[in-house]
A and B are shown apart, each in its own frame.
Chain A
Amino acid sequence: MTDYARYTTGDPLADTKAPDGPIEQRWDTRRFTAKLVNPANRRKHTVIVVGTGLAGGSAGATLAEQGYHVVQFCYQDSPRRAHSIAAQGGINAAKNYRNDGDSIHRLFYDTVKGGDFRSRESNVHRLAQISVEIIDQCVAQGVPFAREYGGLLDTRSFGGVQVSRTFYARGQTGQQLLLGAYQALSRQIAAGNVELHARTEMLDLLVIDGRARGIVARDLVTGEISAYVADAVVLASGGYGNVFYLSTNAMNSNATAIWRAHRRGAHFANPCFTQIHPTCIPRTGDHQSKLTLMSESLRNDGRIWVPKAKGDTRPAAGIPEEERDYYLERVYPAFGNLVPRDIASRAAKNVCDEGRGVGPGGQGVYLDFADAIARLGRKAVEAKYGNLFEMYERITAEDPYEVPMRIYPAVHYTMGGLWVDYDLQTTIPGLFAIGEANFSDHGANRLGASALMQGLADGYFVLPATVNDYLARHPGNDTPGPEHPAVAAVLAEAKERLHRLVGVGGDRSADSFHREIGELMWEFCGMARNEEGLRKALDRIPQIREEFWRRIKVPGTEGEFNQSLERANRVVDYLELAELMCLDALHRAESCGGHFREESQTPDGEAARRDDDFSYAAAWEFTGTGSAPVLHREDLAFAYVHPTQRSYA
């Protein structure tokens, strides 16, 4: 164990909601033991849902269909713009339409293994069970999945699995699934069952008598800050990848909702588990505001290489074959260019660190289609990847048919999030977290096409059942009014924080701080981490935080439309969350999935898990900004899928 003194260890944590018994029956058992609310009484209950992505949109629509009064929030101008919309590849489901040996158990197995044995078996099995219902629901909504000539649904394969179970709608599966959920939600808005607050951002959580009773949110147009009370609160606000500044997340995706809930008592689990996607378009300069993903499918036909010699600045065409290093094919002959995401990402980082990277700043590797074009012909390559090639050319102004693509890994998804039990309830009663916002089902690494599956499983099927149970057990008419002292106190606190931000009147923009913390995190808590670097980051973050509160400049006032203020307020939370991420990464002195500790590797440089010491989820309890958090361990038991070391060589 580390001797790091900035945290203490508290009582272990256990999921008390998952029933015992055979894993196939647990979800049925849980649904049966869950109490129900009389349909006539449901409209008396208000449920707040924060976020309108796949998880939030589907949850809001379903809760409203059941008869609850739903009050829903999104910071975007429309629920249809949530960042789930950008997901490209597809959604997994154990339909076994291909008759290729797929089953619920296989999807369960693949997901637990892909997560490098850091997820909870009960949850993952339920996810696999529900996956088949999701496809039914989405098809009925009119989601235009790709079909074959017989009129049946088409599927394709994705990384890390040997069956074809990924349903897709060209390269825009996330968009189509989100529009399905958005349309279901729209129907409920029209019916008056959902009260939607667009362009409204959650600032804080109301916890009264130990239960989540609402939120404080700011109308981004008028600047008005109000309290909204409810009987239960659902956070579906997405992940926190934007801590890194440059990521594939949307510009305004943020961690404020989950971080504020954490500050109010919800434990934050496995914050250091971030997924770095290997095939993104590299940054071109300091002005870069975000990174764009290129579908992983490109690695099926593209060959990844860098020059053998350091500092070789010749154009790709000028480097002869024998001076090229196809390093993935060399090191992992069995899987070659198709090794899992974490391995491909780390390998790219290693060659760039050696000074063999290509492109501006040496932060890139070639993804070369010359062989594929020679073998299949340009037409075939165009049919397969034409839209991706076009996208690449639009951004880089380079023609990938002529010049090899340049790619580099980028932050893409966060597996960590608010700790939840089997009911998706956080450690605050009445506060639920769904989708990427919870620490969920992916363990230390998420498989491709599983994020959409999880968001929709949580929103359409799991949460509505478990919220029912919670509300049935808390039927009282004791909804606090806005005059309740606890409501007034949180409201005043939120107003004061924004007022303080505007009042500093410094000389640096929120963006400049965001960039600074992002670069620090990328360097020390990115693709590879070590104790020395993490300690350095942990020393540096409080200094940046102190400087932030001294030098931040927010033009305008808090009582108006103010995008600078929105950004600054989000950066406040990144500056605290970053510290917890580094701390979590430091304490977990093993490598697993997306978390690679340089101290813990096999002799040939692969990630070495340490199951004896770290087979647990780390749930952190907040004790104050800059003060030592408390670690609660939830031990993970593997009764159905036995941990093994991954090998791809």
Chain B
Amino acid sequence: MKLTLRIWRQHDTEAPGGMATYDVDGISPGMSFLEMLDTLNERLTVEGEEPVAFDHDCREGICGACSLVINGEAHGPERTTACQLHMRSFRDGDTIDVEPWRAAAFPVVRDLVVDRAAFDRIIQSGGYVSVPTGSAPEAHATPVPKAAADSAFEHAECIGCGACVAACPNGSAMLFTSAKVNHLGALPQGAPERETRVLDMVAQMDAEGFGGCTLAGECATACPKGIPLTSITAMNREWLRASRKVPRS
């Protein structure tokens, strides 16, 4: 396959960026999208040009490092991560636009690499159960209904990639935040900190400069792990309940 790539190049956070055009040849349909970029980078390196920077690590769709907007869609046309997207999803001769996640809370580090530390700070603000090592009761002390455990798991599947923010017309992090709120909220172990968790995490999410939710639903469409839009609804419910129970200044 022969392709034309238009890739966002930006030297650092402060520098202006722009799309640069590259032609690549000899791409096989079995390659992953990232392997296609590897091919380009190998050529650029040998030619003495700086290769395109992009985040990636596990390349099996679970670490959440890869973060490419391909032809205007977070992770590209398939519902998976960019590392699991294969070139057979494109046609010979295609022109493909590759851009970084776009959000004020995700500043560009270089080229296609963005800083997602804001997500970590949201988790730090309350996305945990306070249980120091050694203080845990016997695992079977509290049975958890299977439905609750399954629901917790479905939300816990979030890989923290940020595609929800990238796809949202408002750059909102509601789906990410709600996934963690609902994961822990579904379990009895998460109940004692239920109210403070949701209030603090939403407050941190706002403080990071993410946009608000308008229920456009693009986050859930882009989510490679299929976290549903109802996750946001459930968090809203949780938040309203908490705001009534916990008066704060």
Contacts and interface: CB of A to CB of B under 8 A. Distances in A.
Interface string A604-631: 0000000000000000000000000000
Contacts of B35: 287-289
Given A78-B119, A145-B149, A508-B46, A184 B189 contact: no
Nearest to B152: A144
A397 interface: yes
A289 B57 CA distance: 11
A561 interface: yes
A187 B31 CA distance: 40
B51 to A, nearest CB: 6
Contacts of B64: 80-81
Contact of B129 (A79, A141, A250, A561): A141
B127 interface: yes
Nearest to A148: B146
A508 B58 CA distance: 25
> Which interface class (under 10, 10 to 19, 20 to 34, 35 or more) fits A?
35 or more
Given A151-B146, A289-B59, A556-B50, A221 B109 contact: yes
A511 B46 CA distance: 11
Nearest to B189: A142
Contacts of B53: 561, 563
B149 A144 contact: yes
Interface in B157-182: 157, 159-160
Interface string A68-99: 00000000111111010110000000010100
A555 B41 CA distance: 11
A492 interface: no
B27 to A, nearest CB: 8
Given A86-B58, A144-B149, A289-B32, A139 B133 contact: no
B131 interface: yes
B247 interface: no
Contacts of B57: 76, 81, 83, 250-253
A149 interface: yes
Nearest to A292: B60
B94 interface: no
B16 interface: no
A509 B38 CA distance: 11
Nearest to A97: B140
B123 A65 contact: no
Interface stretch (A107-115, A172-180, A583-591): A172-180
A394 interface: yes
Interface core residue of B28, B58, B65, B133 (most chain A CB under 10 Å)? B133
Contacts of A77: 55, 65, 115-117
B104 interface: no
Interface core residue of B63, B80, B136 (most chain A CB under 10 Å)? B63
Contacts of B189: 139-142
Contact of A251 (B56, B134, B153, B159): B56
A215 B127 CA distance: 30
B169 to A, nearest CB: 25
Task: Give the secondary structure class of B's interface.
Answer: loop
A187 B131 CA distance: 10
B65 A397 contact: no
A569 B141 CA distance: 49
B62 A78 contact: no
A553 B48 contact: yes
B139 A189 contact: no
Contacts of B237: none
A187 B30 contact: no
B116 A78 contact: yes
Contacts of A394: 78, 80, 84, 86
Interface in A264-291: 284-285, 287-290
A285 B38 CA distance: 14
Contacts of B146: 147-149, 151
A170 B150 CA distance: 10
B65 A186 contact: no
Nearest to B58: A250
Interface in A233-259: 248, 250-253
B96 interface: no
A79 B128 CA distance: 14
B156 A140 contact: no
B129 A136 contact: no
Given A80-B64, A251-B57, A394-B84, A142 B129 contact: yes
Nearest to A510: B45
A25 B9 CA distance: 61
A395 interface: yes
B49 interface: yes
A486 interface: no
Among all A-B residue pairs, the 4 with the closest Cβ atoms: A151-B143, A140-B136, A183-B128, A144-B153
15 contacts: A78-B117, A86-B58, A95-B139, A136-B136, A141-B136, A142-B183, A151-B143, A153-B140, A169-B156, A182-B123, A183-B128, A289-B38, A289-B59, A290-B59, A293-B60
Given A85-B58, A144-B183, A147-B149, 15 more contacts: A61-B133, A77-B55, A81-B58, A81-B65, A85-B63, A86-B63, A133-B134, A137-B133, A140-B131, A142-B129, A147-B143, A184-B133, A397-B88, A460-B134, A511-B38
